Structure 1
Amino acid sequence: MKSNIKQILGGLVMLMFTSLAFAHPAQDLVESSTREVMDILTQEKEKLENDPVALKSLVDEKIIPHLDFEAMTALSLGKNWREATPEQRNELVTEFKELLLNTYMSALTLYTGQEMEFKPFIPEKRDDRAIVRAVFLQPGNKGVPVNYKLRLKDEQWKIYDIDVNNINLVSTYRSTFAQRVAQVGIDGLIKEIKEKNASLVSVKDSG
Structure 2
Amino acid sequence: MKNSLVCKLSHGALTLLLTLTLVSSAWASAVTDGLKSTIDRVINVVTDDKYKNDPQARRAKLRGIINPKFDYIEMGKRSLARNWRDLSPQDRKDFIDLFGQLLENSYAKKIESYQNEEILYVDEVIKGKYAMVKTEIKRKNDVIGVDYKLIQNGSDWQVYDFIVEGVSLIRNYRSQFNKIIKKDSFPVLMNKLNKKVKDLEAGTADDKDEL
Q: Give yes or no for TM over 0.5.
A: yes
Where does structure 1 differ by over 6 angstroms across 4 or more consecutive aligned residues? none
TM-score (norm 2): 0.78
1:121 partner letter: E
- CA offsets per residue over residues 22-68 of structure 1, 9 Å max, x none? 83311111112212222332233xx4343122112222221111000
Equivalent in the alignment of 1:35: 40
| Residues matched between the structures, number | 179
1:109 to 112, 115, 118: 112
Contact 1:49 1:109 in 2 (8 A): no
Equivalent in the alignment of 1:170: 170
Stretches of structure 2 lacking an aligned partner (at least 5 in a row)? 1-25, 205-211
Equivalent in the alignment of 2:155: 155
Equivalent in the alignment of 1:95: 98
TM-score (norm 1): 0.79
Equivalent in the alignment of 1:10: none
Which one is further off, 71-80 or 98-107? 98-107
Contact 2:32 2:124 in 1 (8 A): yes
Contact 1:22 1:28 in 2 (8 A): no
Contact 2:43 2:111 in 1 (8 A): no
Query: What is the CA RMSD across the aligned residues, in angstroms?
Result: 1.9
Q: Which has the higher contact order (CA 8 A, sep 6+)?
A: 1
1:69 to 66, 69, 72: 72
- CA offsets per residue over residues 140-189 of structure 1, 9 Å max, x none? 22x22211000011332100001010010010000000000012211221
2:81 to 78, 81, 86: 78
Q: Distance in 1 between matches of 2:200 and 2:37?
A: 30
Q: Distance in 2 between matches of 1:101 and 1:119?
A: 25
Stretches of structure 1 lacking an aligned partner (at least 5 in a row)? 1-20
Contact 1:67 1:158 in 2 (8 A): yes
**SS of residue in 2 equivalent to 1:38:** helix
Which one is further off, 166-175 or 98-107? 98-107
Matches within 5 A, 1:4-43: 23-43=28-48
CA drift of 1:78 comes to 0.7
CA drift of 1:200 comes to 2.8
Q: Distance in 2 between matches of 1:29 and 1:66?
A: 9
CA drift of 1:119 comes to 1.4
Q: Distance in 2 between matches of 1:78 and 1:122?
A: 24
- CA offsets per residue over residues 112-163 of structure 1, 9 Å max, x none? 1011111143332x2x11111111111122x222110000113321000010
Q: Distance in 2 between matches of 1:144 and 1:202?
A: 27
- CA offsets per residue over residues 81-110 of structure 1, 9 Å max, x none? 111111111111011111122222322321
Contact 2:80 2:178 in 1 (8 A): yes
Identity %: 26
